[in-house]
Amino acid sequence: MKMKILFGMILGALLVVSVGCVNTVSGRTRAGVPWVKDRVEDRYERPVNQVYDAAIEVIKLNGTLVNETTLHTTNSSVRTLEGRINQTTVWVRVEPLDAKLTFVAVQARTKAGGTDLDTAHEVSKQIAIKLVR
């Protein structure tokens, strides 16, 4: 009986240690499993506004747009989106690198805080397809 209690306490301690806070690409934190890959990064030779509009369109096409934010940094303004696609929260960060080059990071997490890399890849791919058209 004492072994079962000890095992339960060790298992509970491991669970508490393994779940922590995760930084999102929008600059916020969220409870989740850290140290796992949850984002896809791309660069496009397109203006920021064109990439941002494509990202909005992709999120609205696949799910619900929840939040739009503009983060003002010292050099430029970074625009972020938050949406829900199939019970997964998706964040998109659109940041200008120069006049023609734009950086995009797509991050996806499930309700339980786990990673959903397939959804992140799909959103990233659809943004690229929208930019080709």
What is the tens place of the pLDDT at every residue in 51-69?
999 999 999 999 999 988 8
Q: Is it the case that residue 33 has pLDDT exceeding 90? A: no
The pTM assigned to this predicted structure is 0.80
- Domains of the chain with bracketed CATH: 37-132 (3.30.310.220)
Quote the CA–CA distance of 26 and 68 in Å, as a whole number. Answer: 10
pLDDT at position 37 is: 84
pLDDT at position 83 is: 95
CB atoms within 10 A of CB 74: 4
- 81: confidence class by pLDDT, cuts 50, 70, 90: very high
- 38: confidence class by pLDDT, cuts 50, 70, 90: confident
